[in-house]
């Protein structure tokens, strides 16, 4: 310990003598680095020395960070405690001793100091922030530093020590990375302990609208705990009615530019307090205060941004319009608030995604060889085709082997989907085979070739209806199995449609055949007598080759209608009716047989 006391008084930077002092006191096994037991021994010595220096500073009545400080004409030397901390910080930075030792000494120093001295200690921490934030030190002492800052925040008054609390929070924001989960409110929990107390009973002898006073300050209950509005509809109705009263009052008492210019914003920022006074005597003055009015309106916007309901759009526009007309520089102030709320959405999305790290490690550049490797050239363009061709040369029967390509049966192919449809297997919906488009496409091709009945169920039941019914359990099969009545109706409809089409084809084909025979008879009338002998049968012309008066009448262009063709059409219609009658009878017989 005496050796360190002498080292504190030595001039010059710590690197000139720090390691030599450690080697003199500890006599380490390794020359430049202490092992675990040696680190523990050194830590006990330094913590005892620090406690003695703090006790001496308290007895002398000097601030602990200035104890032992001397002012000469040439330079000003540091106090004993900052000097000791510099020596330990250098040893930790160079990894001569354990990296978390400096953080432990700082924690002990803040616990032994008053709040006035803690400000000086924290000033030292802020000055050494860059060194303390190095990776080799940060990994060893981040939890100790977080505990130290949290202890300071608990000791400070949130109303009187606002600036010091802000310094600590700003240090934590810079010291810890953005992706540090210990500094992020992952669940979005609100500080419901921040309650606003106000008068419940009207004071005597003061003429104020006490109902408005209670309505105004009751809004803080909802600003403190926004989730309560979405859980209870009655609270939402009460909140909207109270907010309407407050906004109507603000609009009825607009602020002028003179009232806005009378407020010195710089002086107000210096005396800023996180809580407003809630005395009913000050209600009239607070309503004329632009910063107070902005404070309430910004709270409304934060609440609206959290709720994100459709019905709050009109409320939000109304609040923004009031902020815009609130002096001084209402438009600029509104623009900044909107920018902050927009950036807040990015933080919400970032926390929703699990707080992924912002820092990305640089990609290591692979050492490039001076000589570039020549790309191999394949016989058939790529490695796979060339390998396949080489296998074919070695085994000529490889491509003609019938076992090379095998089309699976319908039962084997649809078995995985049938297992998915069985609720007893417990397979989740997202892992069903019906979500695989390639699997469904291949199955439809197989069913179209091998199972037309199952393929026809695709229109009514989708891909699950194509599965063969024998693969499905009984309770699932009944859903996709067609009823007998539906099958008979479908068969009757198909047979009727086929009969109608057949009748129409016969009706078209019969006149065409008659016309062909008539033309053929005309051509044969000018042929030889032997050919003319056969024409009466085919074309209806007289044996002598001379057309009869009736035939001349048929061939006359002035004739409007052909009686023979009309007779043929009537015969065709009668034949079609006969076919339809036979079809209907057969269908009725089939239905009776099924029933």
Whether 210 contacts 180, CB under 8 Å? no
Q: Are 28 and 101 in contact (CB under 8 A)?
A: no
Quote the CA–CA distance of 334 and 340 in Å, as a whole number: 10
List C-alpha distances in Å: 13 to 92, 96, 99: 15, 16, 20
Instruction: Give the separation between CA 501 and CA 490, rounded to whole angstroms.
Output: 17
Which phi and psi (to 5°) does residue 285 adopt?
-70, -40
pLDDT-wise least confident of 110-119, 239-248, 334-343, 472-481: 472-481
Q: Cα separations (Å) of 323 from 258, 320, 327, 335, 570?
A: 17, 5, 8, 10, 91
Q: Is 558 a residue whose pLDDT tops 80? A: no
For 166-199, write each residue's pLDDT tens digit.
999 999 989 988 777 777 888 888 888 888 999 9
Peptide bond into 301 cis (omega under 30): no
Rounded Cα distance between 18 and 4, Å, is 9
Q: What does the DSSP assignment read for 154-174?
A: HHS-TTT-HHHHHHHHHHHHH
Q: Rounded to an integer, what is the distance from CA 449 to the centroid of its chain?
A: 44
What is the percent of the chain where pLDDT is above 70? 74
| The residue to which tokens 């004409």 are assigned | 73
For residues 424-460, one letter each, b for 16 or more C-beta atoms within 10 angstroms of the residue's C-beta and e for the rest, the string is eeeeeeeebbbeeeebbeebeebbeeebeebbebbee
Query: Which pLDDT does position 100 carry in this prediction?
Result: 92
pLDDT at 321 over 60: yes
* Residues near 525 by beta carbon (within 8 Å), at least 6 away in sequence: 532, 535, 539, 541, 545, 547
Q: What is the mean pLDDT of residues 47-71?
A: 89
Which of the four pLDDT bands, split at 50, 70 and 90, describes residue 368? low
pTM: 0.49
Q: Rounded to the nearest 10 degrees, what angle do helices 233-252 and 210-224 cross at?
A: 130
Model pLDDT, residue 149: 95
**9-23, 406-420, 487-501 — which is least confidently predicted?**
487-501
Over 80: is that where the pLDDT of 419 sits?
A: yes
Domain boundaries, the chain: 2-183, 210-352, 410-481, 485-594
Band (pLDDT 50/70/90 cuts) for residue 249 is: very high
Answer yes or no: are the C-beta atoms of 489 and 470 closer than 8 Å.
Answer: no
Q: How many CB atoms lie within 10 A of CB 154?
A: 7
b/e map 535-548, b = 16+ CB within 10 Å:
beeebbbeeebebe
pLDDT band, very low/low/confident/very high, at 154 (cuts 50, 70, 90): very high
Is residue 341 packed enough to be buried (19+ CB in 10 Å), middle (13-18) or exposed (0-12)?
A: middle
Rounded-to-integer distance, Cα 146 and Cα 184, Å:
13
Residues pairing with 40 in the sheet: none
- For the chain, counts of helices (H) and of strands (E): 29, 0
To the nearest whole number, what is the mean pLDDT of the chain? 78
Query: How many residues make up the chain in this entry?
Result: 595
Confidence (pLDDT) at 46: 92
Is 84:101 a contact under the CB 8 Å cutoff? no
Instruction: Answer yes or no: is pLDDT of 492 > 70.
Output: no
Whole-number Å distance between alpha carbons of 444 and 450: 10
Residue 71: φ, ψ to 5°: -115, 115
More confident residue, 511 or 593: 511
- Cα separation, 62 vs 117, in Å, equals 10
Q: What is the Cα–Cα distance from 422 to 414, expressed in whole angstroms?
A: 13
Name the band, by pLDDT with cuts 50, 70 and 90, for residue 25.
confident
Residue 106 in this model has a pLDDT that exceeds 50? yes
Q: What is the pLDDT of residue 494?
A: 65
Q: How far apart are CA 433 and CA 422, in angstroms?
A: 13
Give the chain's end-to-end CA distance (angstroms, integer): 110
Banded model confidence at residue 471, pLDDT cuts 50, 70, 90: confident
3-state helix vs strand vs coil in the chain, percent to 5: 70, 0, 30
Q: How confident is the model at residue 323 (pLDDT cuts 50, 70, 90)?
A: very high
In angstroms, rounded to a whole number, what is the distance separating the alpha carbons of residues 177 and 359? 9
pLDDT of residue 23: 86
Q: Is a pLDDT exceeding 50 seen at residue 581?
A: no
Q: Which of 252-256, 333-337, 386-390, 415-419 has the lowest mean pLDDT?
A: 386-390
Give the confidence band of 379 by pLDDT, cuts at 50, 70, 90: confident
At residue 179's C-alpha, the angle toward residues 177 and 185, to 5°, is 110
Q: What pLDDT score does 555 carry? A: 43
Going from the C-alpha of 475 to that of each of 417, 479, 490, the distances in angstroms are 16, 7, 24
Inter-residue contact 423 to 477 (CB < 8 Å): no
Q: Report the pLDDT value the prediction gives residue 8, as an integer from 0 to 100.
A: 86
Spatial separation of the C-alpha atoms in residues 185 and 191, rounded to whole Å: 11
Which residues make Cβ contacts (< 8 Å) with residue 544, sequence separation at least 6?
532
Do the beta carbons of residue 165 and residue 156 sit within 8 Å?
A: yes
What burial class does residue 239 get, using C-beta atoms within 10 Å of its C-beta: 0-12 exposed, 13-18 middle, 19+ buried? buried
Residue 141 confidence class, pLDDT cut points 50, 70, 90:
very high
CB of 287 closer than 8 Å to CB of 217? no
| pLDDT tens-digit readout, 262-317 | 665 555 555 556 678 899 999 999 999 999 999 999 999 999 999 887 788 999 99
CB-based contacts of 487, cutoff 8 Å, min separation 6: 594
| Ordered DSSP codes for 356-379 | --S--PPPPPPPPPSSPPPPP--T
Report residue 208: phi and psi, to 5°.
Answer: -140, 160
Can you give the pLDDT at residue 509?
52
CA distances from 142 to 46, 131, 176, 180 (A): 20, 13, 8, 11
CB-based burial label for 216 (10 Å; 0-12, 13-18, 19+): buried
What pLDDT does 92 receive? Answer: 92
According to the model, what pLDDT value does residue 159 have?
80
């Amino acid at each position: 310990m005496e050796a360190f006391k002498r080292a504190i008084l030595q001039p010059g930077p710590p690197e000139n003598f720090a390691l030599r002092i450690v080697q003199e006191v500890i006599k380490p096994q390794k020359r430049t680095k202490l092992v675990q037991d040696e680190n523990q021994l050194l830590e006990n010595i330094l913590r005892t020395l620090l406690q003695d220096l703090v006790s001496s500073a308290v007895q002398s009545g000097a601030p602990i960070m200035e104890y032992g400080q001397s002012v000469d004409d040439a330079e000003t030397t540091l106090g004993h405690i900052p000097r000791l901390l510099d020596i330990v910080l250098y040893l930790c930075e160079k990894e001569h001793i354990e990296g978390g030792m400096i953080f432990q000494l700082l924690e002990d120093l803040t616990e032994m100091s008053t709040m006035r001295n803690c400000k000086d200690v924290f000033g030292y921490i802020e000055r050494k922030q860059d060194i303390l934030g190095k990776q080799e030190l940060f990994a060893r002492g981040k939890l100790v530093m977080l505990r130290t800052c949290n202890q300071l925040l608990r000791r400070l008054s949130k109303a009187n020590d606002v600036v010091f609390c802000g310094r600590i929070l700003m240090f934590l924001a810079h010291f810890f990375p953005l992706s540090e989960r210990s500094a992020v409110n992952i669940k979005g929990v609100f500080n419901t302990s921040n309650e606003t107390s106000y008068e419940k009973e009207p004071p005597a002898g003061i003429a104020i609208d006490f109902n408005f006073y209670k309505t105004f300050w009751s809004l803080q209950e909802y600003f403190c705990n926004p989730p309560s509005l979405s859980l209870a509809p009655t609270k939402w109705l009460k909140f909207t009615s109270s907010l309407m009263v407050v906004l109507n009052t603000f609009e009825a008492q607009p602020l002028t530019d003179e009232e806005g210019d009378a407020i010195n914003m710089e002086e107000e920022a210096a005396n800023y307090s996180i809580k407003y006074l809630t005395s009913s005597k000050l209600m009239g003055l607070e309503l004329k205060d632009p910063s107070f009015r902005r404070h309430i309106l910004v709270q409304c916007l934060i609440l609206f941004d959290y709720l994100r309901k459709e019905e709050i759009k009109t409320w939000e526009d109304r609040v923004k319009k009031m902020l815009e007309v609130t002096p001084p520089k209402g438009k600029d102030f509104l623009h900044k608030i909107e920018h902050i709320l927009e950036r807040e959405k990015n933080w919400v999305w970032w926390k929703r995604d699990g707080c992924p790290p912002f820092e990305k490690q640089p990609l290591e550049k692979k050492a490039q060889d001076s000589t570039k490797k020549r790309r191999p050239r394949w016989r058939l363009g790529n490695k796979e085709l060339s390998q396949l061709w080489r296998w074919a040369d070695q085994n000529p029967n490889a491509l003609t082997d019938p076992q090379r390509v095998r089309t699976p049966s319908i039962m084997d192919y649809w078995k995985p989907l049938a297992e998915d449809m069985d609720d007893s297997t417990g397979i989740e919906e997202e892992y069903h085979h019906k979500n695989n488009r390639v699997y469904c496409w291949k199955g439809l091709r197989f069913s179209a070739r091998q199972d037309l009945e199952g393929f026809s169920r695709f229109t009514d039941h989708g891909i699950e209806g194509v599965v063969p019914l024998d693969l499905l359990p009984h309770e699932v099969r009944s859903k996709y199995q067609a009823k007998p009545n539906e099958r008979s109706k479908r068969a009757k409809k198909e047979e009727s449609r086929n009969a109608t089409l057949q009748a129409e084809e016969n009706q078209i084909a019969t006149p065409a055949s008659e016309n062909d025979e008539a033309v053929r008879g005309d051509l044969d009338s000018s042929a030889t007598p032997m050919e003319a002998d056969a024409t009466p049968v085919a074309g209806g012309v007289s044996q002598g080759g001379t057309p009869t008066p009736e035939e001349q009448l048929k061939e006359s262009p002035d004739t409007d209608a052909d009686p023979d063709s009309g007779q043929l059409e009537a015969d065709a219609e009668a034949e079609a009716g006969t076919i339809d009658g036979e079809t209907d009878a057969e269908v009725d017989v089939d239905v009776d047989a099924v029933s």
